[in-house]
Structure 1
Amino acid sequence: MEILVVEDDERVSDALSAFLARSGYSVHRATDGAAAIDAVVPETEAVILDLGLPDIDGIDVCRRIRAFSGVPIIIATARSQVEERIRGLHAGADDFVVKPYDVRELVARIEAVTRRSRTVPGLGEPRLVIDAQDVYIDITNRYATVASTAIELTPKEFEILEVLARYPGVPVPRDRIIREVWGTDWSGFNRSLEVHVGSIRRKLDPNSLIETVRGLGYRLAVS
């Protein structure tokens, strides 16, 4: 797997890159925002992005990468404020870790955000499709249209839709979605889930496929 590490602190970049290499990843590095944007190629399978870059704020880098690529992005930064997490998720990030972090946890998060994007459906596996309210979402082939116009969904947004699509019309608890999408039972991801669901809803607007089930979670409003 090819990982792009975007980090201007050489010591942090060296240590992280060495650990990822020992874990079997192919690592590419960038020390500023402009270089990071240029370094994202079709072969890039995940981006580890620091926010405190010398030329372009990491949130803007995330937004620019997301404008042309669906590559999973994990923000890794010393900024711990909830508002920064929300800004990052709104910009298209798939996950967020706060420095100092355990590199083993970071590797687990990399695996979580890329798991489904690496999955190739088996021979004869049925396609998982949502076709309702002028919205067509092919979860298996990872594309979506609204009124026949393509829309861009991030890898994490697709993962959330996939969980809901497996139980059409049935309420899915928040903790189950978090467990399947983020690979954890930590309730701290509730806010991240809300932000991602809000982003999906805006992209599907004016349709209301995702309904909130008060006190429980979400469901797809399909028959």
Structure 2
Amino acid sequence: MPSGRCGYAFVVFVGATILAILLPAEADASAGEQPVGRRAKFRLPSSIVFALRCNVGLRFLSGFLTIFFAFVLTQHPFENWNHSTTWLLGLVIGAASLGNIIGLGLSSVLRRLNPAVVVVAGLIADVAATVCAALFYSLAVAVAFGLTIGIAAAMGKLALDATIQRDVPENYRTSAFARSETVLQLSWVFGGIAGVALPSDHPVVGLIVLAALIISWTLFVLANRRPTRAHPSPAVDQV
């Protein structure tokens, strides 16, 4: 990424931080709300913990896709695309953006599905897409990889939101949303870090390592799923 764009992004980030600090206290008022935390002794329902863990995997892959392919496609483009790296990056990342739009549309059509089914299906679909990208690395597969990640991320997030709306009492709901969003943002960041850390000189190797990571996470999430509780209980579940 050219230094000019990095500088522009830095200026925007600093400006947004200053504006956030200058917001009046009323913008973050919590009157009448009980926070989700250790002091409140509130336990997130197991259904939300499970959905959030699934979304951690989905968001991790989204961050990885954006950063990893930004390096790979500019430094080691596919054959016959040496002078069109911008188009290459647009195809893969654009496929993920298109996937987000498709995921939003599918969520409205399939809104009667159990949210737990949606998040599991999204995670398994991402596992399959990652394995295919590692085994059959090509432009078409990379585009399909981005499309799958975009669809799964959008549907998984909406399923998580629906689970929070359904299973968290109203006076805890805002804090539950804030907590889940923080976890998902951190997951994206860690995915981006993995995208930088894994070797861009050998994209197949990086994708194989990614496949091992996401398969391990999926097995962990499924193995540690707990029975859904009807009501929250007084302690704190950890994601």
TM exceeds 0.5? no
Q: Which has the larger radius of gyration?
A: 2
Specify which structure has the bigger relative contact order, considering alpha-carbon pairs within 8 angstroms and separated by 6 or more residues. Answer: 2
Q: Would you tell me which structure has more strand in proportion to its own residues? A: 1
More helix by share: 2
TM-score range, shorter chain: under 0.3
